[in-house]
Copies of this chain bind each other. A is one copy, B any other.
Protein backbone atom coordinates (compact mmCIF):
# COMPACT_ATOMS: atom_id res chain seq x y z
CA UNK A 1 0.00 0.00 0.00
CA UNK A 2 2.81 2.40 0.85
CA UNK A 3 5.01 1.28 -2.01
CA UNK A 4 2.28 1.20 -4.62
CA UNK A 5 1.73 4.87 -5.42
CA UNK A 6 -0.94 4.01 -7.99
CA UNK A 7 -3.92 6.31 -7.60
CA UNK A 8 -7.34 4.79 -7.04
CA UNK A 9 -8.37 6.09 -10.46
CA UNK A 10 -5.61 4.14 -12.16
CA UNK A 11 -6.76 0.94 -10.49
CA UNK A 12 -10.36 1.76 -11.36
CA UNK A 13 -9.35 2.08 -15.02
CA UNK A 14 -7.35 -1.13 -14.87
CA UNK A 15 -10.23 -3.29 -13.66
CA UNK A 16 -12.77 -1.41 -15.71
CA UNK A 17 -10.70 -2.26 -18.75
CA UNK A 18 -10.99 -5.94 -17.90
CA UNK A 19 -14.71 -5.78 -17.10
CA UNK A 20 -15.97 -6.24 -20.66
CA UNK A 21 -15.92 -9.40 -22.78
CA UNK A 22 -15.06 -7.58 -26.02
CA UNK A 23 -12.15 -5.81 -24.37
CA UNK A 24 -10.84 -9.01 -22.83
CA UNK A 25 -11.01 -10.65 -26.26
CA UNK A 26 -9.16 -7.75 -27.87
CA UNK A 27 -6.57 -8.00 -25.14
CA UNK A 28 -5.99 -11.72 -25.66
CA UNK A 29 -5.65 -11.17 -29.41
CA UNK A 30 -3.12 -8.38 -29.19
CA UNK A 31 -1.16 -10.26 -26.54
CA UNK A 32 -0.63 -12.95 -29.14
CA UNK A 33 0.11 -10.56 -31.97
CA UNK A 34 -0.01 -6.79 -32.48
CA UNK A 35 -2.84 -5.83 -34.81
CA UNK A 36 -4.29 -2.70 -36.40
CA UNK A 37 -7.62 -1.35 -35.17
CA UNK A 38 -9.22 -2.12 -38.54
CA UNK A 39 -7.98 -5.70 -38.36
CA UNK A 40 -9.45 -6.04 -34.87
CA UNK A 41 -12.73 -4.41 -35.85
CA UNK A 42 -13.30 -7.08 -38.51
CA UNK A 43 -13.61 -9.68 -35.73
CA UNK A 44 -16.59 -8.13 -34.00
CA UNK A 45 -20.18 -7.44 -34.87
CA UNK A 46 -19.98 -3.73 -34.15
CA UNK A 47 -18.79 -0.57 -35.80
CA UNK A 48 -15.17 0.40 -36.23
CA UNK A 49 -15.70 3.35 -33.90
CA UNK A 50 -17.01 1.09 -31.14
CA UNK A 51 -13.93 -1.11 -31.31
CA UNK A 52 -11.80 2.02 -31.38
CA UNK A 53 -13.42 3.11 -28.12
CA UNK A 54 -12.76 -0.25 -26.49
CA UNK A 55 -9.11 -0.02 -27.51
CA UNK A 56 -9.00 3.49 -26.02
CA UNK A 57 -10.33 2.14 -22.72
CA UNK A 58 -7.67 -0.57 -22.72
CA UNK A 59 -5.07 2.04 -23.50
CA UNK A 60 -6.14 4.29 -20.60
CA UNK A 61 -6.02 1.18 -18.41
CA UNK A 62 -2.40 0.62 -19.40
CA UNK A 63 -3.25 -2.82 -20.76
CA UNK A 64 -2.32 -2.12 -24.37
CA UNK A 65 -0.16 0.33 -26.27
CA UNK A 66 -0.18 1.70 -29.81
CA UNK A 67 2.76 2.00 -32.16
CA UNK A 68 2.25 3.82 -35.40
CA UNK A 69 3.30 1.79 -38.36
CA UNK A 70 2.80 3.61 -41.61
CA UNK A 71 -0.78 4.75 -41.78
CA UNK A 72 -2.01 2.17 -39.34
CA UNK A 73 -1.75 2.05 -35.57
CA UNK A 74 -0.66 -1.32 -34.29
CA UNK A 75 -2.24 -2.23 -30.98
CA UNK A 76 -0.08 -4.46 -28.80
CA UNK A 77 -0.60 -5.98 -25.37
CA UNK A 78 1.20 -4.60 -22.35
CA UNK A 79 1.99 -7.41 -19.93
CA UNK A 80 3.00 -4.91 -17.23
CA UNK A 81 -0.62 -3.81 -16.87
CA UNK A 82 -1.66 -7.42 -16.36
CA UNK A 83 1.04 -7.97 -13.81
CA UNK A 84 -0.07 -4.88 -11.93
CA UNK A 85 -3.62 -6.22 -11.73
CA UNK A 86 -2.36 -9.62 -10.62
CA UNK A 87 -0.25 -8.06 -7.87
CA UNK A 88 -3.25 -6.12 -6.60
CA UNK A 89 -5.26 -9.31 -6.32
CA UNK A 90 -2.32 -10.89 -4.53
CA UNK A 91 -2.53 -8.15 -1.92
CA UNK A 92 -6.16 -8.98 -1.20
CA UNK A 93 -5.30 -12.64 -0.97
CA UNK A 94 -2.50 -11.75 1.42
CA UNK A 95 -5.00 -9.96 3.64
CA UNK A 96 -7.15 -13.05 3.62
CA UNK A 97 -4.29 -15.39 4.31
CA UNK A 98 -3.07 -13.16 7.10
CA UNK A 99 -6.49 -13.37 8.67
CA UNK A 100 -6.58 -17.13 8.19
CA UNK A 101 -3.23 -17.37 9.95
CA UNK A 102 -4.50 -15.16 12.75
CA UNK A 103 -7.44 -17.51 13.18
CA UNK A 104 -5.09 -20.47 13.31
CA UNK A 105 -3.12 -18.67 15.99
CA UNK A 106 -6.26 -18.14 18.01
CA UNK A 107 -7.16 -21.80 17.69
CA UNK A 108 -3.65 -22.71 18.74
CA UNK A 109 -4.03 -20.43 21.76
CA UNK A 110 -7.26 -22.17 22.67
CA UNK A 111 -5.48 -25.49 22.49
CA UNK A 112 -2.81 -24.10 24.80
CA UNK A 113 -5.51 -23.13 27.27
CA UNK A 114 -7.04 -26.58 27.01
CA UNK A 115 -3.67 -28.02 27.81
CA UNK A 116 -3.38 -25.83 30.91
Binding site for B on A (CB under 8 A): 8, 11-12, 14-16, 18-21, 24, 27-28, 31-33, 77, 79, 82-83, 85-86, 89-90, 92-93, 95-96, 98-99
Contact = CB atoms under 8 A, between A and B. Distances in A.
A82 B86 contact: no
A99 B32 contact: yes
How many copies altogether?
A: 2
Contact of A77 (B14, B15, B32, B96): B96
Contact of A86 (B27, B33, B86, B98): B86
Contact of A79 (B12, B19, B82, B96): B96
Given A18-B15, A21-B8, A21-B12, A86 B95 contact: no
A74 to B, nearest CB: 15
A23 B90 CA distance: 17
B93 A83 contact: yes
